[in-house]
Chains A and B, each alone.
Chain A
């Protein structure tokens, strides 16, 4: 059985309000429960592409989420299906307490109080944040903030997670434990990152962007063996291959 497409992007172009080109003719298909990494240098359009998944930005071309075109009239529906986590948790967390932040999505979706409580409890548990309900965001460590930011979309039970540099700014241990938690989330994931270990641990497929264009769309297995491509994007090719082989048992035999 061919897995169904959850994200379908055709000929997407976007120009920033100041006239700079953001994306040029990008096509992308993502299937259910896939994990796809978006890689590329700063300014390549990675975040811009991510923001198109829930209509935060809209360019020229078609974006379809679970068959629904991303248009104004579908936005409410699409935003509950795509959980977008911004790079900076200070942008993501705007409520007085952790509980309020994690409850914000479900409350906007109109759930009753008990359902909201359950969803918040579940999301916090997945992120290992039990007991953080009454804490304020400004009293959390960077790693905790990142986890709360993820919990704020997990509580919405979105089918697709769009994560913008989830391990950015984290120490190695924090980064590892976050990757491990993300790995256990079954949803379809699209992850913007510069962090190669994350890609190798989480994603079976990678999209490479450069100056707004999609340069390559390939499996992680092929990526780590493409020395030219890796070096073009500034990765250490030997290290990438070594790391990939070391992590094989983690991913299982089919990746």
Chain B
């Protein structure tokens, strides 16, 4: 089975795609940093960031519709976490509703928190989305490694990248095997089957982990992962990096 659910558009040829992974990691992480650290009322800042990101997406020839859809996928999760905040937070009441069994009130500061969480999450997701849509995953990992991201983190995500596909295959195969044997019946019975599947998946993953470790040892692994990187800091990269001081400057100006 073939998957490309992560770096789906990373093979496009565009000025952004051609840039060194390190430059892109720095720039997109600056976007996140600046976005997250801005006060919730800095609408100009958020507008600028969103426009800049959309501009990059355009230069990178990424289909905007696809990106928006991807961002929307994340949104419900965020929303359900964030939506409770205005009801919990005490403070100036922004509006109250009588639902018959007692009043529900929404606090103004709570609404601000909701807005704050949502806009920052969307901008952050958008930035990361652009990073991995313009950079093949292996290159992105290596760029991050070269930029002194913690080694353990790098190893973790590179294994996750490699084995997530195999895990998905494994789940699909199990589902097929389950359905082929006329899966159905009472809810409780289904839950039990699901439990068994998760258990089996865990055991298989555990075994796989052991085998992979043996394979690593067989090729001389001694606890340190070798690093290999080829990249360059050319004119394009420098030009792209000028976004960083510009964003930081704006951040201080508007903050």
SS class, residues of chain B in contact with chain A: helix
**Whole-angstrom distance between the Cβ of A233 and the nearest chain B Cβ:** 27
**A residues near B216, Cβ cutoff 8 Å:** 94, 104
Is A136 on the interface with B (CB-CB < 8 A)? Answer: yes
Q: Taking each of B141, B159, B218, which has the highest tally of chain A beta carbons within 10 Å of its own beta carbon?
A: B218
> Given A97-B138, A103-B228, A137–B162 Cβ distance below 8 Å?
yes
CA distance A94 to B159 in the complex (A): 7
CA distance A86 to B217 in the complex (A): 12
Is A62 on the interface with B (CB-CB < 8 A)? Answer: no
Whether B211 lies near A91 (C-beta < 8 A) is yes
Interface string of B34-59 (1 = CB under 8 A from A): 00000000000000000000000000
> Closest residue to B159 on the A side, CB-wise?
A94
> Given A79-B219, A94-B216, A108–B162 Cβ distance below 8 Å?
no
Is A54 on the interface with B (CB-CB < 8 A)? Answer: yes
- Which B residues from 1 to 60 make CB contacts under 8 A with A? 2-4
Is A56 on the interface with B (CB-CB < 8 A)? Answer: yes
CA distance A84 to B211 in the complex (A): 12
Whether B220 lies near A108 (C-beta < 8 A) is yes
Interface residues in B, total, Cβ within 8 A: 28
**A residues near B137, Cβ cutoff 8 Å:** 96, 136
> Given A138-B162, A138-B165, A138-B166, A108–B218 Cβ distance below 8 Å?
no
A134, A139, A156: the one contacting B219 at CB < 8 Å is A156
CA distance A135 to B217 in the complex (A): 23
CA distance A255 to B212 in the complex (A): 37
**A residues near B220, Cβ cutoff 8 Å:** 76, 79-80, 105, 108-109, 156
Whether B215 lies near A92 (C-beta < 8 A) is yes
Whether B217 lies near A96 (C-beta < 8 A) is no
Whether B208 lies near A90 (C-beta < 8 A) is yes
Q: Taking each of A100, A137, A138, which has the highest tally of chain B beta carbons within 10 Å of its own beta carbon?
A: A138
CA distance A88 to B166 in the complex (A): 12
Whether A108 lies near B219 (C-beta < 8 A) is yes
**B residues near A76, Cβ cutoff 8 Å:** 220, 222
**B residues near A95, Cβ cutoff 8 Å:** 158, 162
**A residues near B4, Cβ cutoff 8 Å:** 139
Whether A91 lies near B226 (C-beta < 8 A) is no
- Which B residues from 120 to 169 make CB contacts under 8 A with A? 136-138, 141, 158-159, 161-163, 165-166
A51, A79, A91, A113: the one contacting B228 at CB < 8 Å is A113
Whether A94 lies near B212 (C-beta < 8 A) is yes
CA distance A181 to B240 in the complex (A): 47
A80, A92, A134, A139: the one contacting B2 at CB < 8 Å is A139
For this complex, 10 residue pairs linking A to B, each with C-beta atoms less than 8 Å apart, are: A79-B218, A88-B211, A100-B228, A104-B219, A104-B226, A134-B136, A134-B138, A138-B2, A153-B219, A156-B219
- Interface residues of chain A, those whose CB is within 8 Å of chain B, are 51, 54, 56, 76, 79-80, 83-84, 86, 88, 90-97, 100, 103-105, 107-109, 113, 116, 134, 136-139, 152-153, 156
